Structure 1
Amino acid sequence: MLKTRVITAIVLLAVFLPVTLFAPVAAFGALIGLVVLFAAWEWARLLKAGPAGSIVYAAVAALAVAASTRLESTHSLYQAAGIFWLVAGPYVLVRKPTLAAGVWRAFLLAAGLVIFSACWHALVAARTVGVAFVLSLLLVVWLADIGAYFAGKAFGKHKLAPAISPGKTWEGAVGGWAAVMVVSAAALALHAFEPTLYSALAARLGLVRALFVLTVLVAFSVIGDLFESMTKRQAGVKDSSGLLPGHGGVLDRIDALLPVLPLAMLLLG
């Protein structure tokens, strides 16, 4: 399993790093469009849309992303996605409705078109600002995840959401937040690789409020992760798919990014 994970990670890095660092924004957008296509397919599968229905949904999601490029402003798109994560995200985690049936399934399939379109636009807009900017945005989620893993392993005692994801702890969540705060503060103090998400937030909101916004983004990265964990638990699967051997599916890799991306860009808009 470890060998498979390493090989898959190397392949992914070999594809994503050159495109992110050196390719034109259009090529980056095309690659992210492919990611969104597979993520939408997995979203529909978790909501039990069926094999054919999941393929059709992925195609509709791709068309929705293409259609959204005609919008004069993406602000409303970020707003819609942000409202979903601010309202529906916590509600679902607290009340735990059956997501793959009835009104909830229809709602989540419709919401997914907005969520994935906003995700695509946020990443492309961030890449347009610069490589350092898009990487600093992704780094918020990566640091929160890595910090949570190691802090949870070392200190985790109190379960964060035992009925949804038994492995997550409050200590891990705090560790992930601390990792983001340390790196963000260091980047701001050193003025490293600017413009970054951190410098943009600090310039717009001031240092204290920028760190508060980063705290909110870390919290919603956890919500995104837990939301997908709940859909998988209800669907009776461990991974969103087997597209990435050793790593699960695309949604397993981007679940925490889905709320963070539109919220971050909305606050900077």
Structure 2
Amino acid sequence: MLKQRIITALIMLAVLLPALFHSRIEFFALLTLVMIAAAGWEWCRLNGIQDSWSVAVGMGLGGLMGLLWWFSVLDQVQWVIWMVTSGVWALIAVTLLTRGVSQWGMWPAGLRLAGGCLLLAAAWLALVEARKMGLVYLLSVLTLVWMADIAAYFGGKTWGRRKLAPTISPAKSWEGAYSGFAGVCGLAAFWIWYDGLRQDDSVSIFGLMLAHGWIWLALAVISLTAMSVIGDLIESLVKRSAGVKDSSGLLPGHGGVLDRVDALLPVLPVALMFTQLP
């Protein structure tokens, strides 16, 4: 299992890194668009849609978003998209996490399907916009999610006592969540220090938030860390409702695309909301 995970990770890095570091954003946009289309397919399957229709929805989602982005249809309303998407994620967190796994299937299938696809689309738009803002900015957002996850894992293993959401993800604890937040605070200090060493236009999200003051930085760090946990919990809730361990087997040893990007889905639009306040 470990060997399979390592091989898959190396292949993903070999494909992703050249697109990520390429000077032309189109390569990165296209690659991540394929990933979002795959995530759309997984989302449909998790919600009981037949395979043929799931493929059609995934491809349609990818094609539509590609066209909207290519023709800059949404450029003038992006901040509105980030605001609305952030509000929807907050509403989802309050509603779904309080109602639990048993209530997920009670929501209309069309609402679940459309809502998930729209949130995937918003996350992809935010991902591409973050790359346009600079490699340092995008990496700071990605590493925030990774740090929150890694620090929460080790903190939970070491000190975890009180369950965060026992019916949704029994392994998560409040101590792990606090450890994740502490890890992100340490990461923020690193990126702010790193920003001071650079003279180009690409600045981390932490540096941009600090420019608005320490209170704004603290609010952003708390919100983004919380959103990374919420994204993970929401996917766990949906998978538990569907009775599956992974969203798919597309990434051997890692599960599916949704399993790899669940925490990023709410973090990306919320990060852009904080960054592009008018």
Q: Same-fold call, TM > 0.5? A: yes
Q: Deviations over 1:229-254 (max 9, x none)?
A: 00000000000000011110000000
Q: Is the 8 A contact 2:144 2:187 kept in 1?
A: no
* TM-score, with length taken from structure 2: 0.91
The alpha-carbon deviation at position 185 of structure 1 amounts to: 1.9
2:214 aligns with 207
Work out the CA distance in 2 between the residues paired with 1:44 and 1:164.
20
2:38 aligns with 38
* TM-score, with length taken from structure 1: 0.94
2:154 aligns with 150
Equivalences for residues 223-242 of structure 1 within 5 A: 223-242=230-249
The alpha-carbon deviation at position 187 of structure 1 amounts to: 2.2
Of 251, 254, 269, which residue of structure 2 is paired with 1:247?
254
2:104 aligns with 99
Q: Deviations over 1:123-144 (max 9, x none)?
A: 1111111111111011110000
Q: Is the 8 A contact 1:48 1:100 kept in 2?
A: no
Work out the CA distance in 2 between the residues paired with 1:14 and 1:150.
28
2:27 aligns with 27
Task: Name structure 1 gaps, 5 residues minimum.
Answer: none
Q: Does the residue aligned with 2:246 lie in a helix, a strand or coil?
A: coil
Amino acid at match of 2:2: L
Of 161, 164, 182, which residue of structure 1 is paired with 2:165?
161
The alpha-carbon deviation at position 67 of structure 1 amounts to: 4.6
Work out the CA distance in 2 between the residues paired with 1:108 and 1:81.
15
The alpha-carbon deviation at position 120 of structure 1 amounts to: 1.3
Identify the range of structure 1 (114-123 vs 139-148) with the bigger mean alpha-carbon deviation: 114-123
Identify the range of structure 1 (92-101 vs 5-14) with the bigger mean alpha-carbon deviation: 92-101
1:185 paired with 2:193, answer no
Work out the CA distance in 1 between the residues paired with 2:187 and 2:3.
30
Identify the range of structure 1 (178-187 vs 217-226) with the bigger mean alpha-carbon deviation: 178-187
Work out the CA distance in 2 between the residues paired with 1:268 and 1:130.
13
The alpha-carbon deviation at position 214 of structure 1 amounts to: 1.1
Task: Name structure 2 gaps, 5 residues minimum.
Answer: none
Work out the CA distance in 2 between the residues paired with 1:135 and 1:36.
19
Identify the range of structure 1 (16-25 vs 163-172) with the bigger mean alpha-carbon deviation: 16-25
1:109 paired with 2:123, answer no
Identify the range of structure 1 (89-98 vs 49-58) with the bigger mean alpha-carbon deviation: 89-98
- Percent identical pairs in the alignment equals 40
